[in-house]
Amino acid sequence: MRYWLLKSEGDCYSIDDLKKDTKTSWSGIRNYQARNFMRDDMKKGDLALFYHSNSKPNGVYGIAKIVAEAHSDETQFDKKDDHYDATSDKNNPRWMCVDVAFVKKFKEPVSLEEIKHDPHLEGMMVRQTGSRLSVQPVSEKHFNYIVKELAQ
């Protein structure tokens, strides 16, 4: 079993939206590295930290669970969608997404500020400046530390 961090702009799709929807397709990812993680490494049952960017504060707001492994991201074929990709082939879709379900919202978010200054979390990808990857692997140790020690 693996652990992940999923980034979303807080005012675009938040942990509250996921709570309301119960589950959602993690569509619209148009970055090869992120796609490869979803396609090759994410398995049903994996857990993910739900991270808000462009928020106050930025940080981990809760937990989500992978409930369906990678499948075609249909937004790539929707001309009206922001993530439409005219060059993707229906018979060999370029973009994939997984389905995630709501698990838990933290009482208080674990802020990026906290994550950056905690020595237990050294090496976490989200700490690196300029790390724009929106689907990141997280070590079990870091995941558990955030969930059990920092979050309420």
Partner DNA sequence: GCCAACGTTGGC
Q: Site residues (CB under 7 A) for DNA?
A: 7, 9, 31-33, 53-54, 58, 112-113, 116, 126, 128-134
Residue type, 88: S
Residue nearer to DNA on the CB measure, 22 or 119: 119
Nearest distance in Å: CB 4, DNA:
14
Give the integer Cα–Cα distance in Å for 75 and 78. Answer: 5
Residue nearer to DNA on the CB measure, 1 or 79: 79
Nearest distance in Å: CB 111, DNA:
9
Nearest distance in Å: CB 29, DNA:
9
In what helix (H) or strand (E) does residue 15 lie, and over which residues does it extend? helix 15-21
Residue nearer to DNA on the CB measure, 6 or 70: 6
Burial (CB count within 10 angstroms: exposed 0-12, middle 13-18, buried 19+), residue 146 = buried
Is the CB of residue 78 less than 8 Å from the CB of residue 84? yes
